[in-house]
Structure 1
Amino acid sequence: MYPFFRYAKSITKAVIANKKGDQLDLADTSEIEIRCSLTDIDNFLEMNNGRVLTLFDLGRTDFAIRTGLGKQLLHKRWGLVVAGSTVQYRKRIRAFDKVTIKTHVAAIDERWIYVEQSMWVKGKPCSSALLRTGVTSKGRVIETQEVLDAMSKSDWDMPPTGYVAEWIESDDDRPWPPRVES
């Protein structure tokens, strides 16, 4: 089940932080803390890999609200979409561990905002995800320049380089729809 209570709590915390002046720039990193609960774990008593992706939603929500994107989403009736992701798992997160979720923009191109997120326990990285995200209007992804203009960040430029550019290129080589072998 989706963690609606945690989601509402993270929205409330982000709105309060934003009103207190704890705002973020697009170049900043958002950090939120959660506790790995019993509803997050699998039969091995560690955080379920699918739950990691779900909880990353909380970090992206905090980032959106504190950068001002959230206000534009509401005002313009825009939505957010994840169009691709790659995840690395390196260290187990156990029940009741205190987890820090870090979120920042890794790159932006004409259509997509590439977001990197990570989970940390006791100062050690546990998992990391690179996500291709977009802002939608009426069911279609809009150009990032329109989003940047709405946020008064028209001159902001962060083209994909390094591993982000390599991931984009590699993902372009992936067949769609996927091949089905019989």
Structure 2
Amino acid sequence: MYPFIRYASTIAHAALQVKKGQTLTLKETSEIQFRCRLTDIDNFLEMNNGRVFTLYDLGRIDFAVRTGLGKQLLKQRWGLVVAGSTIQYRKRIRAFEKVTLKTKIIAIDTRWMYIEQSMWVKGKPCSSAILRTGVTKGGRVIDTSKVLAALGQSDWKLPPTGYVAEWIKSDADRPWPPVG
């Protein structure tokens, strides 16, 4: 089941941070902390790999609220979409461990913002994901220039380079499964 209560409490906590003046720029990294709960683990008593992706949602919503994107989503009647992702796992997260989740923008092109998210326990990386994300209006992805303009960041450029550019190219070459 989706963690709606955690999601709502993450939004409330991020809004409180904004009220206290603890906002973020698009160039900064969001960090939130939580404990691995019994509802997060699998039969091996570690965080389920699918749950990792679900909990990454919490990091992206904290980032959106604290950067002002959340306010623009409501004002402009925009939505968010994930259009691609890749993840690596390095260390298990066990029940009740304290997790730090980090979220940052690592590249922007004309259509997509590329987000890097990672989970850490005791200062050690446990997983890292790259996500191709977009802002939508009426079910269609809008140009990132409109999003950046709404956030007062029209002049910010962060073109994909290195491993991000390689992932974009590799992902574009990936064939879709055959129909039928």
- TM-score band (shorter)? over 0.9
State the partner residue of 2:51. Answer: 51
- Equivalent AA in structure 1 for residue 107 of structure 2: A
Which stretches in structure 2 are left out of the alignment for 5+ residues? none
Partner of 2:121: 121
Counterpart of 1:9, as a letter, is S
**Cα-to-partner distance string for 1:152-176 (whole Å, 9 max, x where unaligned):** 1000100000000000000010113
Which amino acid in structure 1 is aligned with residue 178 of structure 2? R
| Matching residue's letter, 1:88 | Q
- TM-score, normalised to structure 1, is 0.97
The secondary structure found in structure 2 opposite 1:103 is strand
User: 1: distance between equivalents of 2:167 and 2:106?
Assistant: 12
Secondary structure of the residue that 2:152 maps to in structure 1? coil
1:180 offset after TM fit, Å?
Answer: 6.4
**How big is each residue's C-alpha offset from its partner over 1:30-82, in whole Å with a ceiling of 9 and x where there is no partner?**
00001000000000000000000000000000000000000000000000000
**How many residues matched?**
180
Could you say what secondary structure the match of 1:170 adopts? helix
Task: Report the Cα distance in structure 2 between the residues aligned to 1:175 and 1:98, rounded to whole angstroms.
Answer: 39
- Alignment partners' CA distance in 2, 1:6 and 1:25: 24
SS at match of 1:156: coil
Counterpart for residue 83 of structure 2: 83
TM-score for both structures, normalised by structure 2: 0.98
Instruction: Work out the CA distance in 2 between the residues paired with 1:76 and 1:180.
Output: 37
Partner of 2:149: 149
CA distance in 1, matches of 2:88, 2:49: 10
State the match for 2:74 in structure 1. 74
Amino acid at match of 1:179: P
SS of aligned partner of 2:15: helix
Report the residue type matching 2:79 in the other structure: G
Unaligned runs of 5+ in 1: none
Q: What one-letter code is carried by the residue in structure 1 that aligns with 2:20? A: K
